[in-house]
Amino acid sequence: MRGFPVAGLLLWLASVPWVLAQPDCVACHLDHARDYAGSAMAGSAADHAFQLEWAQSGRQEGCLECHAPDGGAGVGCRHCHVAGHGARSVGSPVACGRCHQQAFENTLARFREYRARGGERSCLDCHAGGAAGTGHGFTGPSSEAFLEGVVRLTTTFRRADSGLVAVIGISHRAGHGLPGGTAGRAVELNVRGRDARGELVWTVSRRFGWQQDAGRWLDKSLPPLHITYVETPVGGAARIHTSLRYRRMPYGHEHYDEKSVLLAETGRHVPGLEGR
């Protein structure tokens, strides 16, 4: 286990010259190559999370079809620009779908759901980037800044026959499910009820992403252009605190993920409901 970060770092370092060594393209498109070399896709096989997940899955060679199609540290120029110059379809979601609609990858199907609900952005509208302005520094959830402001949480209280209920609303701005991507990623909701002294009374957790259900793995990500409501009885709590974290590493929520990112958090005192 300890060897993974070191191996990942070495592979990542190795990826930079590897990308820059794509001789056909780099000779004329050095700025594009520099932008791209810093992206997560350029090091998709060297990535620590991938190395861990790959080891867990028994190092299946099929994973490398997308993560290291040439046996290098990641995806190279020609894996998107299949036909080289004049390959205009490279901006099409279908081009991304070659890898982003696979076993344990449902991002393209979720993107189509987003468009069917009236969403108007394309993949590159959000994911293209790069310091040199070439649009080749692909960005995504591996960048903490990319995740900023993606999620909104609300807490509504409802009076029911059984007592007060907190209704947590989760909405997000991704043009696909949240999280997108493969099985190792997850979004984790954590709701905590505390009494008037600040003591923890109860906690409720929900995990969104790929999940095992009756022996099958299913995509249970938060749908796009959709608001998910999660209800929980208030019990003896005087204050409710809600947070949503983006987990990048495999394993369930019982394992601490040092790479997880706080997407949003909110807190509310439990009201008397005499009306606003």
Partner 1 sequence: MIRAIRWLLATTLLAVPLSASGFQLVWSEAEIARWAHGVTGRLVVDVRSATSRQQRPSSVALPVEGEPSDYDFDPSVREVLLLVDPEPPEPWRIWRDHLAQAGYRVHVVDVAPGSESVPPAPEAEGRSFRYLVPRGLCDAREPVQVYERNPDGTLEAQPQ
Rounded Cα distance between 60 and 73, Å, is 16
Question: 96 is written with which tokens?
Answer: 């991304």
Rounded Cα distance between 8 and 49, Å, is 9
Percent helix, strand and coil across the chain, each to the nearest 5: 30, 30, 40
Which of 121, 145, 99 has the alpha carbon at shortest distance from 224? 121
Contact call for residue 70 and partner 1 (CB under 8 A): yes
Contact call for residue 72 and partner 1 (CB under 8 A): yes
Of the candidate residues 43, 177, 181, 209, the single one contacting partner 1 (CB under 8 A): 177
Considering the complex, state which of residue 85 and residue 216 has its C-beta at the smaller distance from partner 1. Answer: 216
Rounded Cα distance between 138 and 75, Å, is 12
Minimum CB separation of residue 15 from partner 1 in Å reads: 14
Contact call for residue 63 and partner 1 (CB under 8 A): yes
Which of 200, 188, 180 has the alpha carbon at shortest distance from 241? 200
Contacts with partner 1, 10-29, as mask; x by CB under 8 A:
--------------------
Considering the complex, state which of residue 35 and residue 189 has its C-beta at the smaller distance from partner 1. Answer: 189
Rounded Cα distance between 113 and 88, Å, is 24
Q: Of 242-271, which residues contact partner 1 (CB under 8 A)? A: 266, 268, 271
Residues 6+ away with beta carbon under 8 Å from 49: 184, 248, 249, 250, 259
At which residue do the structure tokens 């209280």 appear? 157
Considering the complex, state which of residue 129 and residue 209 has its C-beta at the smaller distance from partner 1. Answer: 209
Distance from chain centroid for Cα 2 = 25
Of the candidate residues 3, 23, 86, 118, the single one contacting partner 1 (CB under 8 A): 118
Of the candidate residues 62, 84, 133, 252, the single one contacting partner 1 (CB under 8 A): 62
Considering the complex, state which of residue 128 and residue 225 has its C-beta at the smaller distance from partner 1. Answer: 225
Contact call for residue 60 and partner 1 (CB under 8 A): yes
| C-beta of residue 68 within 8 angstroms of C-beta of residue 74 | yes
Contact call for residue 154 and partner 1 (CB under 8 A): yes
HSE, side-chain direction, 13 A CA sphere, residue 13: 5
Minimum CB separation of residue 117 from partner 1 in Å reads: 5
Contacts with partner 1, 201-230, as mask; x by CB under 8 A:
---------x-----xxxxx--x-xxx-x-
Site residues, partner 1 (CB under 8 A) = 57, 60-65, 69-72, 79, 103-104, 106, 109-110, 112-113, 116-118, 152, 154-159, 167, 169, 171, 173, 177, 183, 210, 216-220, 223, 225-227, 229, 266, 268, 271, 273-276
